[in-house]
Chains A and B, each alone.
Chain A
Amino acid sequence: MSAGHRLLGAIDVVVTDVVELNPEVKRFHFARPDGQPLPAFSGGAHIVIEMKDGDVTRRTPYSLSSSPFETDDYQVSIRRDDNGRGGSLYMHRSVTPGMAMTISHPSNLFSLDKRATRHLMLTGGIGITPFLAQTAQLIRTGGEFEVHYGFRSHDVAAYVDELTARIGHRLHCYADDQGQRIDYDRLLSSQPAGTHVYVCGPTPMIDLVLSKAKEHGWPDAHVHFEHFAKAPPGEAFTVELKASGITIAVGEEQSLLEAIEAAGVDAPYMCRGGACGQCETAVVEYDGELLHSDHWLEDEERSAGQKIMPCVSRFRGKRLVLDL
C-alpha cells in the first residue's frame, strides 16, 4: 500500500526518550539523528507526527510542550485515548526510544498575542501542553502571565511539579476531587485593560470560557482558544475524487484526508484538526449524510452540503463525489 505523499516540510527524527508521567500521559522526546538542532518555533505551535501502524499511516497533530528555545529536544505529551482512532494507543504501545519517525515542521494556530499587557491562561487536563511552551517563551522574552490549571486529581495532573518549579506563584491549581473549581466570573471580571485570555482544554471547558467571556463583555480579539478536533473513527466508506478520476476507500480508523493522501492525491492541509480551513474541499454531489466534525464551517455552510473538511469529517451513505 502506498504511504502517500511525504509529509509537507517533513523532518526525520529519532525518539530519544519516552517518559511515563502518570498512568494516562506519556511524554515523547525527539531529536535529529545527526544531533543538529531542530527548527525554532513559537509557543503554542504543533507538529504533525506520522505514525506507520501496519497498513495504516496516521498523521496527527500534537502541541509542542518543550521550550521554544531548546531546539535540541522536541517534546510532546500525549494522553492515551482508548476510544480514538488509535493514534494515541499506537504512540503509547509501540513507540520506544531509538525509533525513527517523521514529523512536520512546527506551525502555530494558537499563538500568543504579543501586544498583550498580560496573558491569562485557562486550561484543563492535557490542554496544559501548549502553555508549557508559551510560559517558557514569556519567561525568556518578558511578559506578565498567570496560569489556571484544572484537573481531575493530582494523580493525573501531569505538570504541576514542573510548572510550580518554573513559574511559582503564577500557577494556580484546581483539583476536581477536592471540589476546587476555576472561578471564571471572578477572573474574567477583574483583568486590567490589555489582558488577553487563552483557553485550551476539553470542549465543554472551551465553550464555557467563551460564553463567560462574552457575558463579561470581552471583545473577540482578546479571546484565544485552541480547538483541535480529533478525527473520529467511524464506518468505512468510499469516495470519488472527480479531478483525479479515482474512487478510494476510507477505512474505519483512517481519516478522509489520510485516505486521499494514501491514494497519492495532493490535498492542502495545515492543522489536521478542523480548525484552520486550509483543507476545505468542494462536495460535487452526495447521496447520504456528511458527518462534519470541524470547527471551521459555518452552520449555513454545513446545511448547504457543498463543503467538507476532510481532515476530520466523514461520510455515511451511497455516494460522495469531491472536487479533488
Chain B
Amino acid sequence: MSSRIVPTILSRPVYGTLTPTTASAHLLIADADGGTAILDLAKAAPAGFFDSAEVCYVPGADADFSDELQQLSPRQFHTSPTIQALLPRLSRTFERLHMGTSVYLAGSESLIGLATQSAMQAGLDYQALQTEHRGTLARRVQCVHCKGTTENVTTQPAECAHCGLLLFVRDHYSRRLAAFQGVNINAEDPTDVPPKIEEFT
C-alpha cells in the first residue's frame, strides 16, 4: 500500500518507505494503519533486528495491529490509547536516545508530525527520521487567527474548533507546530458560506 499523498507545494511534507538500517538500536513509532508499515519493514529486516528495537504503537478503532506487532518480539513494546497520551513518554525517550539510533515513524500525518516535533525538541534534526504515511489523510490545522489547533480535520473548508471561523485548509505546513495552516475562507463576505467537502479522509 502506498501513500495517497500527492506532492503539491514545497512546504507540504512528503513521506518515504520505511527501510531497516544497520544501526545498533531502533525506535519505531506508529499509529493505526502505520502498524502495517512496521510489519512490512519486518519482512526486510535482518535477523535480530527487533532485539534492539523499541516499538510504540497507538491502535486505531478500525485498525489495530497490536498482536501482530507484539509477535515481532521487540525488546520493548508499548501501546498508548491516543497520540496525546504517547507524547510525554516519547519526549523522555528522545531525550535518552543516543545518536545513531534509527527512528522510524509511520501512520497518520498527525502521528508523524507530533513525533517529529518531539524529536526536534530533543535536538534531533527532522531529516534524521524515516517516515511513511499510511491510513487517514486527516489533518491537524492551526487557525492562523486564534492560534488554536484543530485535530482530525477531514473537510475543506473546516470550522475552527476554537474560534468557530470557517477555515480554508492550505497545504502550507509547519513542522514546528506539526500543523497545516487554516485561513478564514469568507473574510471578504461572511455571508458566503461554501459547502464542506470531505477531502482529507
Decide whether A and B are members of one complex.
Answer: yes
Pair B127/A115 contact, Cβ less than 8 Å: no
Q: B164 in the interface, Cβ–Cβ < 8 Å?
A: no
- Residue A195 lies at the interface, judged by CB distance under 8 Å to chain B: yes
A244 within 8 A of B: no
Residues on B with C-beta less than 8 A from A217 are: 21-24, 99-102
- Give B contacts to A, CB under 8 Å: 21-24, 94-102, 119, 122-125, 127-128
30 contacts between A and B (CB under 8 A): A188-B99, A189-B24, A191-B98, A191-B99, A191-B100, A193-B94, A193-B95, A193-B96, A193-B98, A193-B99, A193-B101, A193-B122, A193-B124, A194-B122, A195-B123, A197-B99, A215-B22, A216-B24, A216-B99, A217-B22, A217-B24, A217-B100, A217-B102, A219-B124, A219-B127, A220-B127, A221-B125, A221-B127, A221-B128, A222-B128
A194 to B102, CA, bound (A): 14
**Which residues on B sit within 8 Å (CB–CB) of A222?**
99, 125, 128
- Contact residues of A: prevailing secondary structure: loop
Write the nearest CB–CB distance from B120 to chain A, whole angstroms: 9
Smallest beta-carbon distance B48→chain A, Å:
16
A contact residues around B22 at 8 Å (CB): 215, 217
| CB pair B100 A194 closer than 8 Å | no
CB-CB contacts below 8 Å: A164-199 with B:
188-195, 197
Number of interface residues of A (CB under 8 A): 20
Whether the pair A116, B24 counts as a contact (CB closer than 8 A) is no
- With most chain B CB atoms within 10 A of its CB, the pick from A117, A192, A219, A220 is A219
Q: Which residues of A contact B (CB under 8 A)?
A: 115-117, 188-195, 197, 215-222
Instruction: Give the distance in Å from the alpha carbon of A219 to the alpha carbon of B125 in the complex.
Output: 8
Question: A188 and B123: CB pair below 8 A?
Answer: no
| List of A residues within 8 angstroms of B21 by Cβ | 217
Note all chain A residues with C-beta closer than 8 A to B97: 192-193
Tell me whether B125 and A192 are in contact (CB under 8 A): no
Tell me which residues across on chain A come within 8 A of B96, comparing CB atoms: 192-193
Q: Are B100 and A218 in contact (CB under 8 A)?
A: yes
A144 to B: closest C-beta gap in Å: 11
Output the nearest chain A residue to B93 by Cβ-Cβ distance. A193
Task: Check if A216 sits within 8 Å of B100, measured CB to CB.
Answer: yes
Contact of B99 among A215, A218, A220 (CB under 8 A): A218
Give the top 7 A-B pairs by smallest Cβ distance, nearest first. Answer: A194-B123, A219-B128, A217-B23, A221-B125, A217-B100, A193-B97, A117-B123
How distant is the Cα of A195 from the Cα of B98 in the complex, in angstroms?
Answer: 9
Distance from B19 Cβ to chain A, minimum over Cβ atoms (Å):
13
Q: Does B122 lie within 8 Å of A190, measured CB to CB?
A: no
Task: Evaluate contact between A190 and B98: CB separation under 8 angstroms.
Answer: yes
Chain A neighbourhood of B119, CB < 8 A: 193
Which A residue's beta carbon lies closest to that of B97? A193
Q: A188-B100, A215-B22 are in contact. List 12 more A-B contacts (CB 8 A).
A: A117-B123, A189-B98, A189-B100, A190-B98, A193-B94, A193-B96, A193-B122, A193-B123, A216-B24, A217-B101, A222-B125, A222-B128
Greatest chain A CB density within 10 A among B21, B100, B122 is at B100
Across-interface contacts of B128 in A (CB, < 8 A): 219, 221-222
Q: Within the complex, what minimum Cβ distance (angstroms) separates A126 from chain B?
A: 27
Residues from chain A with a CB closer than 8 A to the CB of B123 are: 115-117, 193-195
